[in-house]
Amino acid sequence: MSGADLRGLNLRQANLQGADLSGVNLSGSDLTKANLSNAILTGSNLGGAKLIGANLSSARLNSSYMGETKLMDANLKVASLINADIGQANFTGADVTGANFNGVRCHTWTTYTGLDGSTSTAWCK
């Protein structure tokens, strides 16, 4: 599926565990409660996608575009988001334990809820 155009699709609860989705266009797709654990999403476009309650544990999202992506209550444990663009992505309630956010870009004020329930606003470059 590497490089495929899957924008706007309904992929709710899809099992994509370990799938190579490098460079795939998933913009606007609904991946609510999908299993993407260990998936390779390097360089993919997830702009505006719904990943609410999705399992992205150990997923590789390096250099992906995640602008306005909805990641509420998602499992991002040990996920790699190195150099990803997360502008206006919503991580409210997401578990990001051990996730790697080195070099992320968002160029905006981003509001997120921490694991302790506190809400923070930060400028992210």
Structure tokens given for 78: 């040990």
Q: Which two three-digit tokens encode residue 45?
A: 């476009």
Question: In sequence order, which ranges of 17-114 are alpha helices (DSSP H)?
Answer: none
Write the CATH number for 57. Answer: 2.160.20.80
Confidence class of residue 3 from pLDDT cuts 50, 70 and 90? confident
pLDDT for residue 23: 98
The type of residue at 119 is T
Domain around 1: 1-125
Structure confidence at residue 124 (pLDDT): 60
Total domains, the chain: 1
What single-letter amino acid sits at 89?
Answer: A
Q: What is the pLDDT of residue 34?
A: 99
Tell me the C-alpha distance between 35 and 123, whole Å.
30
Asked whether residue 24 carries a pLDDT value surpassing 80, the answer given is: yes
pLDDT in tens, 52-109: 999 999 999 999 999 999 999 999 999 999 999 998 888 888 998 989 988 888 766 5
Find tokens 């590789």 and name the residue: 60
Write out the two tokens for 110: 């981003």
Mean pLDDT for the chain overall: 89
Confidence of residue 112 (pLDDT cuts 50, 70, 90): low
Block residue for tokens 């999705």: 54
